[in-house]
Amino acid sequence: MTAEQLISFARGAPSLDIVDVEGLKAAAVRAFDADPGGITAYGTSVGYPPLRKWIADKHGVSVNQVLVTNGSLQADAFLFDYLVGPGDAVVVERPTYDRTLLNLRNRGGEIHAVTLQPDGIDTDELRKLLESGVRPKLAHIIPNYQNPAGVTLSMAKREALLQLATEYEFTIFEDDPYVDIRFRGEAQPSMLSLDETGVVVHASSFTKTVCPGVRVGYLVGPAPLIGDIAKRATNLYISPGMVAQAIVHQFCVSGDIDRSIETVKAALGERAGVLAAALREHIPGVRFTEPDGGYFLWIELPDDVRADDVFTAAAERGVAVVKGSDFLLEGGEHALRLAFSAVTVDQIEEGVRRLAAAVQAVRG
């Protein structure tokens, strides 16, 4: 590997070598053969009906609880637009996904960031916030292999969140695109599956298990809420992309998605382990929680190292990272998010060496 080649830990996307291109090509042919009229027409705002049913069956819900969208970001936007207006209180994790902060700010939401611990959001801190009189419309939670921190919400905290949402009457937005990318540890049940009072709206995506280019995500929630959002979607665009959703449907019903997930899990598990080992070896004083799945690892640099300086010095050395401050309303001056999904194993060691050189350079 030459010094000129960029090594990017910045983008949460799979590298091409772990995308099942041949499987997707075959799924596209089957989709057009099986339903040429259905996938070339406008469709309806709830999404491609066979995929909608497959998702409903996967989650054990009725089809009228599912809305299939153009990616999970659009699912997020629909829900935020429906529930959050100017001045409405919203709870987020600290840190959280940068586009979540952007979208909520754009809607004028009053954002309350609650500390993220190694086992997920601090539910004691959240309870104190609620007891102080804050009444959020929703709490945005990324329960599995969180973006950007990589941590997973414990079972005890899943149950505590459900109790708080029921008691204080807010919606839990379970934003869960990484759930299937688990390469160690035990799987936890979704809050959707544990919900007995209708307080959870669940979102996920095929971006991390199929490929980002299909732009297929979905919402699962109470039927009245899904119905209302579907009406808004009709007014917005008539229907999402039927071709992409039909291809994903064929990819799923054939079992190709299960093989794709195994490929992605094996590759990312190896990459996460190599990245963690390289960080420990080359950057003294770095702190992180090694993830059990997903795409991301969040690192805290020593207190005398500023992430802004490292970001610039790393770029000069051909390494792209994302500053921790991008995922926080305030703070994160010593943190970086590293995505290990798009870097191959042979790139990781060299990338961390360059990052270590950047850290050393800014320390003088």
Token reading at 247 = 């291809």
Q: What pLDDT score does 4 carry? A: 66
CATH code at 349?
Answer: 3.90.1150.10
For the four alpha carbons of 151, 111, 131 and 137, in that order, the dihedral sign comes to negative
Please report how the helices 256-282 and 21-34 are oriented relative to each other, as an axis angle in degrees rounded to 10.
150
**Tell me: the pLDDT tens digits for 27-59?**
999 999 999 999 999 999 999 999 999 999 999
DSSP string, 114-144: EEEETTEE-HHHHHHHHHTT---SEEEE--S
Token reading at 73 = 């970001």
Are 14 and 42 contained in the same domain? Answer: no
How far apart are the two ends of the chain, measured CA to CA in Å? 27
Query: Is 172 within the bounds of a domain?
Result: yes
293 secondary structure, DSSP code: B
Are 282 and 250 contained in the same domain? Answer: no
Are 246 and 278 contained in the same domain? Answer: no
Query: Is 354 within the bounds of a domain?
Result: yes
Q: What pLDDT score does 2 carry? A: 45
Q: Are 43 and 187 contacting, i.e. CB atoms less than 8 angstroms apart?
A: no
C-alpha pair distances (Å), 291 with each of 11, 182, 277, 300, 335: 17, 9, 13, 14, 16
Q: Are 39 and 190 contacting, i.e. CB atoms less than 8 angstroms apart?
A: no
Are 315 and 337 contained in the same domain? Answer: yes
Query: Is 2 within the bounds of a domain?
Result: no
In sequence order, the β-bridge partners of residue 287 are 300
Q: Which domain holds residue 284?
A: 7-19+258-362
Q: Are 70 and 51 contacting, i.e. CB atoms less than 8 angstroms apart?
A: no
Q: What pLDDT score does 219 carry? A: 98
Residue that is last in its domain, among 208, 224, 256: 256
Q: What pLDDT score does 150 carry? A: 95
Percentage above 70 pLDDT, the chain: 99
182 secondary structure, DSSP code: B
Query: Is 1 within the bounds of a domain?
Result: no
Low-confidence ranges of the chain (pLDDT < 50): 1-3
Q: What is the largest CA-CA distance in the chain?
A: 65
Q: What pLDDT score does 363 carry? A: 87
Token reading at 7 = 């090594």
In sequence order, the β-bridge partners of residue 68 are 218
Predicted model pTM: 0.95
